[in-house]
Structure 1
């Protein structure tokens, strides 16, 4: 049996290297999914019936801009305390529960937003940062939230 010459071995080696590199790139492409990194190792958060949190909403043009202390009872906003001038000007009816904030983020991801990033608490999985820009070419359609002082009960 005749062995392949150096040119054939070189071509076969390059093809094998290309296949290996392609497989590695495909594996890395899966790692680029923002949610895959955010969910790894953290518990799934289930919205409790009653809780409170502070939310800082600064992005876009919306009625819910500013720093707020929110109380939730029965999974509905039961109290809103504005903590800065922007929040004092916002209508109380624009306040959101964390469940609603998370639903906004999920809808944006499903709709193919240009940017949809989230970070979650490592201990219980509640959202601590959400940033969404549905269309990078549009002005003021984005929204972002930073959550702190989360307490159940």
Structure 2
């Protein structure tokens, strides 16, 4: 695939993500006031064994919107909700992360002194948005993850 087409898809996906962010920020029902993490602050949220969520991602490896099921701490199903994400689920299914894995990426970026390693959290402490940029002067190392439609799993008795 020509590099120009890939770049335009990435820019198009980034523009879509931007629009989605504006919409979710304006209509966020998950938290009335998400808080930004300060510096190296870690979340106190403990990832449950089972939950569902929607991930909107813009990275070189993973771009698009995915509906994700996590069971026993592992992604058991990822459904692409747009053309790019459907293709990626087929081609690189193991790249769709759990929320815990996203938090580990955030912690790693902070440990690596990335230029940007920020998160916004819901009132219950889970992340709503994670923004990473290891080197502000490098191209294509940025990552933005928007976490929405979170539904904790039911505990079996």
Aligned pair count reads 115
* Structure with the greater alpha carbon radius of gyration: 1
Over 2 Å off, 4+ runs: 34-39
Q: Does 1:150 align with 2:150?
A: yes
Deviation at 1:92, TM superposition (A): 1.5
Distance 2:109 2:75 in 1: 22
Q: C-alpha offsets along residues 17-53 of structure 1, whole Å, 9 cap, x if unaligned?
A: xxxxxxxxxxxxxxxxx633896xxx82100000010
- List runs of 5+ in structure 2 lacking aligned partners: 1-35
Distance 1:111 1:84 in 2: 32
TM-score computed with the length of structure 2 as normaliser: 0.68
Q: Does 1:133 align with 2:126?
A: no
Counterpart contact for 2:40–2:110, Cα < 8 Å: no
Q: Does 1:108 align with 2:106?
A: no
Aligned to 1:70: 68
Deviation at 1:116, TM superposition (A): 0.9
Task: Give RMSD over aligned pairs.
Answer: 2.0
Deviation at 1:65, TM superposition (A): 1.2
Q: Partner of 1:104: helix, strand, or coil?
A: helix
TM-score computed with the length of structure 1 as normaliser: 0.70
- List runs of 5+ in structure 1 lacking aligned partners: 1-33
Distance 1:68 1:117 in 2: 21
